[in-house]
Structure 1
Amino acid sequence: MNVLSINLCGAGGPEKMEWIKRLKRQHNIMFIAIQETQIQISSNLKPTCFWGQTNCDFDFMDAHGRSGGLLCLWDPGKFSKSSVCKNRNFLQICGKITGHDEPVTITNIYGPQDPSAKRSLWRHLESTIDPSTPHLLIGDFNAVRHPSDRLNSDFCQSEANQFNSFIQRVGLKEFSLGGRRYTYMSKSGDKFSRIDRAFATPSLMRIWSDFDLLALPRECSDHCYLLLRSNNCDFGATPFRFFSSWFNEAGYTEVVQKALNLPTDLPPGAKPDKVLAVKLKKVKELLRAWSKSARN
């Protein structure tokens, strides 16, 4: 289940919608977490504009004026929502991933700038997270953990300590970041920060042990988008390989002749190319079985 997270810095405009749809197709995204929509989604926008033609489900938290705003979209064939918890700074979706019995919670985060509001957010999040259950937190935390997370911008040790203390109390594990060192660039282009992050409870880390996190190029935002993806790829059926040495093997000719003489089960008058495709498929199946038995 690949997850996309992006601070969109305003969701208006077809360019950003097309960008998100392209990323969804390109990376086979099943869940999208958008921060800072800056709009009233309930009255101004159809969330499916970010998804495309295929079926999707969604939930959202409206912006306060032009501030904030959260949107989550997902493939209902891969993830089914059972409950939701909303806050000005987070949108928490709980549900089940297809093929897994244990519920998973995904929390879309947009952290505030004000230090006291950050402390309040950490306390609120702590009260909603059960460390023993699978839980993903992803988004723009507007917080850093170490001085190296900033370049040419101020680092506040006390805020970092409070953030790290929250992470430690809940027992969260952070996904290592690849692709980029920093996820945010100021409009002037000279200040950089790593404020977009992804965390998981230990139980989710065990389920998603093969996942990695990438920060990929900024295009329609001053934030890099985060791609949390699985490395356990299904490359389809094992390809059939034919070896010229088989021509000299005993039994090869008989296997091919047997396959070609098998009935195709096609109706009379079937197109020749269809008949040929079926016969070649039977040749492949019998050769694969013959090769395996010859090796044994």
Structure 2
Amino acid sequence: MNILSINIRGGKKRRKRVWVRDMCFKHGIQFLGVQETKMEKLEPFRIKCMWGNFCFEYACSLSRGRSGGILSIWDPNVLTKDQIWCSDNFVIMKGTWSGHSGDYFLVNIYSPQDPIAKIHLWVQLLEFKSQNDGIYIFFGDFNEVRSEEDRYGTLFNVHGATAFNTFISDAGLHDLPLGGRRYSWMNKSGSKMSLLDRFLVSSEEDFGPIPFKFFNSWMTRDGFKELVERVWNTECENDRLVVKLRKLKMEIKNWIGEVRDDEKGRINAIKLRIDEIEGKMDRSCASLEELDERTRIFGELNDCIDREEMDVIQKARVKWDIEGDENSGFFHAMINHKRSEGAIKGVILNGE
């Protein structure tokens, strides 16, 4: 089952709707949950634009004024609707999922900002769950964090976090780990960030682990072997294999992110330096030391490009195994992109 949840912060702009539609196509989304639609009236054309075709059903809670609004869209060929419940802060769709047994409750949430109203919402949802048996998937913008580490640059409300954690515990929900960035919301200046968006699922339902892709190029990078040995040999409170693997995964993700950022900066610096030296070569004023430096940094640049191409080839091979001939467009696009980077766009002669 593929579910996408997103706070769109208003769906009037076409580029936002197209962005959501493209994500639905790319990931084969079967259920789309949108928060903060800011729709004051039903607009089927905009709903269709976000979904991408006419094969859909939906349920929504319209906004009051210029804030709020919740929209749930699904593929009726995959998900059969049984019943709908709506309020200002949630849309609940009960149905059966093709290929899965039991009743599913998909709860699309846009929590209020007011702390008291949030507590009332947790109580209301907990009461609903206790009265309706099934498999629950709560998702959306909860406007609340679980710990102080989930906020940056903003005040941490310990009472609000405690109430939220109590709701999760009492409802028997499991907080699925999310990939990507640490925070899901950021202000325009980047001075304030929070993890407000989550997927909370029934503890009895096994949704499987988050996939972790290992790239062979990592083995060629300095420091990778030492990182693995250090993390693996570090003692922790729980030495279970799954805990050590999870910790190693997070350390590798942080490390490779920093390495790639540094490598991009180094590649740009090398290109600038090569351009500078070759300018001196054109004027016949480059020193022997600069010629040696050019040869050396060219080798370093080629090593960086080789690692990038290793990742491209591995990605293409994985997608080919999955998609077969449907992947030819992806493969040729990657190759053409690499060719265009190395192509000579033109020649300037005597300034013309």
Query: Is 1:157 equivalent to 2:158 in the alignment?
Result: yes
Query: Is 1:136 equivalent to 2:133 in the alignment?
Result: no
Q: Which residue of 2 aligns with 1:94?
A: 94
Is the Cα contact below 8 Å between 2:48 and 2:54 reproduced in 1? no
Change over 3 Å in CA distance of 1:210–1:148 after alignment to 2 = closer
Greater relative contact order structure (CA < 8 Å, 6+ sep) = 1
CA distance in 2 between partners of 1:167 and 1:151 (Å): 23
CA distance in 2 between partners of 1:121 and 1:84 (Å): 17
SS of the equivalent of 2:140 reads strand
Is the Cα contact below 8 Å between 2:55 and 2:75 reproduced in 1? yes
Query: Is 1:209 equivalent to 2:208 in the alignment?
Result: yes
CA distance in 2 between partners of 1:236 and 1:104 (Å): 29
Is the Cα contact below 8 Å between 2:17 and 2:46 reproduced in 1? no
CA distance in 1 between partners of 2:202 and 2:148 (Å): 24
Structure 1: stretches of 5+ with no match in the other structure = 214-233, 238-296
Q: Which residue of 2 aligns with 1:73?
A: 73
CA distance in 1 between partners of 2:175 and 2:144 (Å): 13
Change over 3 Å in CA distance of 1:193–1:99 after alignment to 2 = same
* Mapping for residues 1-296 of structure 1, pairs under 5 Å: 1-42=1-42, 46-130=46-130, 133-203=134-204, 205-206=205-206, 208-210=207-209, 235=322
Is the Cα contact below 8 Å between 1:31 and 1:72 reproduced in 2? yes
SS of the equivalent of 2:95 reads strand
Is the Cα contact below 8 Å between 2:177 and 2:210 reproduced in 1? no
Shift of 1:41: 3.7
CA distance in 2 between partners of 1:133 and 1:51 (Å): 27
Change over 3 Å in CA distance of 1:99–1:44 after alignment to 2 = closer
User: Per-residue CA shift, 1:2-37, capped at 9, x if unaligned?
Assistant: 111000000112111111110001111111000000
CA distance in 2 between partners of 1:236 and 1:44 (Å): 33
SS of the equivalent of 2:105 reads strand
CA distance in 1 between partners of 2:26 and 2:19 (Å): 10
SS of the equivalent of 2:42 reads helix
Shift of 1:100: 2.2
SS of the equivalent of 1:182 reads coil
CA RMSD of aligned residues (A): 2.1
SS of the equivalent of 1:178 reads coil
Shift of 1:43: 5.3
Is the Cα contact below 8 Å between 1:176 and 1:212 reproduced in 2? no
Question: TM-score normalised to the size of structure 2?
Answer: 0.58
SS of the equivalent of 1:77 reads coil
> How many residues in Structure 1 have an aligned counterpart in Structure 2?
215
CA distance in 2 between partners of 1:132 and 1:50 (Å): 31
Structure 2: stretches of 5+ with no match in the other structure = 213-320, 325-352
SS of the equivalent of 2:15 reads helix
Letter in 2 for 1:56: F
CA distance in 2 between partners of 1:144 and 1:29 (Å): 26
Change over 3 Å in CA distance of 1:67–1:127 after alignment to 2 = same
SS of the equivalent of 2:112 reads coil
Change over 3 Å in CA distance of 1:236–1:7 after alignment to 2 = closer
Quote the sequence identity (%): 35
Shift of 1:42: 1.9
Letter in 2 for 1:111: S
Letter in 2 for 1:199: L
User: Per-residue CA shift, 1:244-294, capped at 9, x if unaligned?
Assistant: xxxxxxxxxxxxxxxxxxxxxxxxxxxxxxxxxxxxxxxxxxxxxxxxxxx
Is the Cα contact below 8 Å between 1:5 and 1:138 reproduced in 2? yes
SS of the equivalent of 1:11 reads coil
Is the Cα contact below 8 Å between 1:183 and 1:193 reproduced in 2? yes
